[in-house]
Each structure stands twice: as C-alpha cells, then as structure tokens.
Amino acid sequence: MIKVTGGSLRGRVLPAPVPEGVRPTSSRARAAVFSILGQDLEGLSFLDCFSGSGLMALEAWSRGARPVTAIDRAPRSLAAIRRNSDALGASLDILASDVTRASVAADIVYLDPPFADDIAAWIAQVGSMSRQVLIAESRAGATVPATAGSLLLDKVYTYGDTQLAVYR
C-alpha cells in the first residue's frame, strides 16, 4: 500500500497495484525530494520522467504544482497512472512516450530511470527539459555529471540504496 505523503492528497492510498518492474520512490526519498523543493509548489510546473505508477507526479500535484506531466511508455504503467490519477481526482497530463521523444519542459523535472541504466546519460538527455530544478534518482554511488543542460549540480544526497542528484 502506497500513500501520498503530503499536500491536499496526504494519506490517500494509490489504488492501482504497482506495475511489474516498477520501483516506486521510497517514502524517505519522497520526503527528501519535497523537503528540497518545498511543500508548496503552486505556480510551478512539474515533469515526472519514467513515471511508473505516477506517484511523484501525484505528490507534486498534491502540493499545488500545475501543470503536472507524467511520462512513461509502458502500457501497464500508463494504466496505473491513469487509474491512480482518476481515483484521487488529480488532473495529470499523461504522455505515452519515450522520455527522449517527449518535447516538454517544466520548472521542475524529476528523473527516475531504472537503476540499471546509466544515470549520467539520462541526465545529459533530459537536462534541457528543466527550467529551474532537475532531481535525478539513481542507485547510491552512481556517477553524475557536473551539469545538466544549463543547470549545475548543487548537491548529492544518499538515502540507503538511493541517491538524489539535485541540479539548479
């Protein structure tokens, strides 16, 4: 059972089962992300790359971000994102696309590819999609570049087996 941790949807349970092969962001890492970004995202747009179940997009929407876009290419993930969004009454823009083919930008970009992928390569491809902040989730100890598009690496946080690289 996965619950939204903050904002207007705080405590609400995501009804859709987590799709096979999806690794939801832990509650500890989610709390850290929104501690870094702040709890009030009103007036900011949010892009969730490799959205999986839509959890991070819903967390951002719950905290006032608009518009919020969730990108994934897996049919099971897209179905879970739609089901979760509909059940919680959240208005997400859901894109069925490969992240590299999506032509969207946002104030805040959250990047969470599979841990087996090269996070540095994904950061290089997605960095230009962010206008203010990029947060890249990867396995702890992964090497990340000093820049992401026009953004500079601000800090790297580690929570157990998870690493968050923050670019501003």
Q: What pLDDT, in 10s, does the model give residues 57-74?
A: 999 999 999 999 999 999
Output the six-digit token pair for 90: 């959240």
Residue 95 falls within a domain, yes or no? yes
- Report the C-alpha gap between 115 and 105 in whole angstroms: 23
Q: How confident is the model at residue 49 (pLDDT cuts 50, 70, 90)?
A: very high
Question: How many domains does one find in the chain?
Answer: 1
Q: Cis (ω within 30 of 0) for the bond into 67?
A: yes
Residue 14 falls within a domain, yes or no? yes
Residue 65 falls within a domain, yes or no? yes
Output the six-digit token pair for 83: 């089901």
Percent of the chain scoring above 70 in pLDDT:
100
Residue 136 falls within a domain, yes or no? yes
* CATH code for the domain in which residue 75 is found: 3.40.50.150
Residue 1 falls within a domain, yes or no? no
Element spanning 34, H or E: helix 27-37
Residue 27 falls within a domain, yes or no? yes
pLDDT value at 1 more than 90: no
Percent of the chain scoring above 90 in pLDDT:
97
Q: Give the domain range for residue 136.
A: 7-167
Residue 13 falls within a domain, yes or no? yes
Q: For residue range 72-130, what is the model confidence (pLDDT) as tens digits? A: 999 999 999 999 999 999 999 999 999 989 989 999 999 999 999 999 999 999 999 99
Q: How far is CA 30 from the centre of its chain?
A: 9
Residue 2 falls within a domain, yes or no? no
Place of tokens 């619950």: 3
